[in-house]
Amino acid sequence: MTQIGDVEVDDTELFLWMIRQFRYVREATEQNTGQRVEGIQRWGGGAKGQSWCSYWATMMLDIWFQGNAPIKRLGACEDVHQLARTNGWVTDEPEPGDIVLSVNDQNHAHHIGIVTATAPLRSIAGNTSRDGVSSNGNGVYEHEISDHNKVFVKYPRQEPVLA
């Protein structure tokens, strides 16, 4: 819980509120481009035209943890997957705020989002489609997801720094 003035706010709800502020982000007509998308790519050290779902998710963590996130700014979903496996952060019981990775049949991660609800299972992700079926869509959207071919990551939490 975080105290904001006289109000105590649940940290996860505050985090989800923050990341939902990016639901307006859309690509330009050229895939994986546009001023805001390219800003997200650059934030993570990427370049114009690169897939940006991982850059978006790790940027959300970077902002929330004010540069001290347990998952650094990364552009490859599989890098997040390997980090989670190495550190024992993979879980079968996702909670809001956890990372969700979409994996193929070879267990290689190709898309990333952040769990926003568990009943029904929902996530918010960058570089997805309005209906959630594309892992290379045109914006940031929140939608229901299946747990099929998903890996959930419960990264270490810490108290937010509210300056």
Could you give the domains of the chain? 2-153 (3.90.1720.10)
Measured CA to CA, the distance from residue 111 to residue 13 in angstroms comes to 23
Write down the mean pLDDT value for the chain: 94
pLDDT reading at 35 higher than 60: yes
Lowest mean pLDDT among 3-7, 43-47, 57-61: 3-7
Residues 104-162 pLDDT 10s: 999 999 999 999 999 999 999 999 999 877 778 999 999 999 999 999 999 999 766 66
Q: For residue 155, what is the DSSP state?
A: P
d(CA 147, CA 67): 30
**Does position 24 have pLDDT exceeding 80, yes or no?**
yes
Convert the pLDDT of each residue in 101-115 to its tens digit: 999 999 999 999 999
Q: Which residue has the higher pLDDT, 3 or 13?
A: 13
pLDDT at residue 163 is higher than 60: no
Q: How high is the pLDDT of residue 5?
A: 82
For residues 69 and 64, give the distance between their C-alpha atoms in angstroms, rounded to a whole number: 8
Partners of 141 in beta bridges: 125
Which pLDDT value is given to residue 161? 61
pLDDT at residue 158, rounded to an integer: 75
**Separation between Cα atoms, residue 154 and residue 152, nearest integer Å:** 7
**Position 97 pLDDT exceeds 90:** yes
Distance, in Å, from the CA atom of 160 to the CA atom of 31, rounded to the nearest integer, reads 34
Global pTM reads: 0.94
Q: What is the pLDDT of residue 147?
A: 96
* Rounded-to-integer distance, Cα 137 and Cα 131, Å: 9
